[in-house]
Copies of this chain bind each other. A is one copy, B any other.
């Protein structure tokens, strides 16, 4: 069977001198699916960079409304082909067609594209700033080079490099995209990209608006993130792969935004456990097992203070893990990674309470796995015991007293989220006051009485956090318009003649509604004076 083509300069074209080829696998049967995809070589990458460079130039004369129209048409096309999309994604990922793919993830993806389109039309996202006295004006502008997106395995639509949040943000900010699809779901990516390419053509976008390769040898990926012509990189995936790219991008001075797996600690304070421990067992288990634990924000670690309520909590949690049937994992690599995780955790002093082995021989699956470890052991070795584990694997850290619980918080590395469960009656308030600042500084999103899984596309979201959960604590990968700012450069205009200014910085408000920071106050007015 011939290799599937890549999308270069707006055309589906055979890969040139592919470095290798691969197929996706059905996680439920481990069988290779029929379509064959190329791992692209430098020849494809050169073609892609050339077309992206032309698109950078062409996009300067594409109106905001046209760019918004592209995003909206794309959303429409995805809705039009929802059935096929869900079908192939379910086959490639084993994620449930319903409700997950069809009623949750696809609508979210479509919604993101539409929210991005609305923000493009509205224009306030660029934070136009005018100092009318000094005649200095600034705004956040496209990077002048394409955005390279590495999509993850776990959200075939919503984080896909050709349709997800990074894609929407990069295009909304005015940049072309070079997408590197994830090898676990190439057929889904291809179908998405077909919809996108049709939408791009219909909206008169430049041919290099977005392009797709299915894979590159890892050395070539390292070269791409450091390429002189690149604007920035967005990577969602494993810590090891992300940090390798970060090193190369940093050395070249190219921005790279990483969204790496995290442990998302959950602190159950004593009053909460006493008050509603049994209910919390269910909440924690469900959040940890959702999507077979394959969320960046699944809770991987909980911390509690010893006592009868904690004993009961752990024992009920253990029963939940033991009774649960293993979900199907996205890929073979995840099964072996979980086995290594268990081995490393046990070697570091954790005790296996449930699970711990691959679950089935005919599919990718691993037993829901629960471990416990003392706070003292955790604090001595937080990097080994706080390692990222992707799947339904949870570690309970048991502190002997509140002081030890605070020590665990101090030992935590940067995380995407941190959840604090407290009594409704105020019993935990004193401890909360001590704990909150420690957790706050170590996470991007702090939750109260709520599990972290599920990342709303909201202006108030931070899907980000301190290193090593991401590469920079000031940016979010989810949430409009803040996520756009990753893919911008700050452009200041000093005494530039009025007709030469971007519309957003001229005296007249270009839409009459756009918000601008005008002499220190946010305003929708024209500059007068």
Contacts and interface: CB of A to CB of B under 8 A. Distances in A.
A323 B377 CA distance: 74
A446 B515 contact: no
Interface residues of A, number: 77
Interface stretch (A89-97, A282-290, A326-334, A493-501): A493-501
Contacts of A473: 143, 255, 488-490
A447 interface: yes
Given A494-B447, A494-B450, A521-B515, A474 B255 contact: yes
A13 interface: no
B458 A136 contact: yes
Contact of A493 (B446, B456, B471, B494): B446
A251 B256 CA distance: 13
A77 interface: no
B440 A466 contact: no
Given A251-B247, A474-B140, A495 B131 contact: no
Interface string A509-529: 000000101011110000000
A473 B486 CA distance: 10
A450 B497 CA distance: 11
A432 interface: yes
Nearest to A516: B522
Contact of A446 (B145, B461, B486, B492): B492
A436 interface: yes
Nearest to A128: B460
A456 B134 CA distance: 8
A102 interface: no
Interface in A142-187: 143-145
A520 B459 contact: yes
Interface string A448-486: 111010001011111010111001111110010010011
Nearest to A251: B247
A253 B448 contact: no
B517 A459 contact: yes
Nearest to A136: B460
Given A129-B482, A144-B441, A254-B467, A474 B488 contact: yes
A67 interface: no
A494 B138 contact: no
B482 A490 contact: yes
A244 interface: no
Contacts of A437: 57, 60
Interface string A110-154: 000000000000001000011100111110110111000000000
Contacts of A27: none
A318 interface: no
A445 interface: yes
A475 to B, nearest CB: 7
A496 B448 contact: yes
A503 interface: no
A512 to B, nearest CB: 14
A256 to B, nearest CB: 10
A200 to B, nearest CB: 22
A209 to B, nearest CB: 17
29 contacts: A129-B482, A131-B458, A131-B461, A134-B458, A134-B460, A135-B460, A138-B459, A138-B476, A143-B441, A247-B251, A250-B251, A252-B467, A253-B471, A444-B492, A446-B492, A447-B494, A447-B495, A447-B496, A448-B496, A448-B500, A452-B494, A459-B520, A464-B490, A473-B489, A473-B490, A476-B490, A482-B490, A515-B522, A522-B522
Interface of A: 57, 60, 124, 129-131, 134-138, 140-141, 143-145, 246-247, 250-255, 414, 417, 432, 436-437, 440-442, 444-450, 452, 456, 458-462, 464, 466-468, 471-476, 479, 482, 485-486, 488-497, 500, 515, 517, 519-522
Given A129-B459, A131-B458, A440-B491, 13 more contacts: A130-B459, A131-B456, A144-B440, A145-B441, A250-B251, A253-B466, A444-B489, A446-B491, A446-B493, A446-B496, A449-B495, A459-B517, A473-B489
Would you list the 7 A-B pairs with minimal beta carbon distance, nearest first?
A253-B467, A144-B441, A136-B460, A462-B492, A522-B522, A473-B489, A250-B250
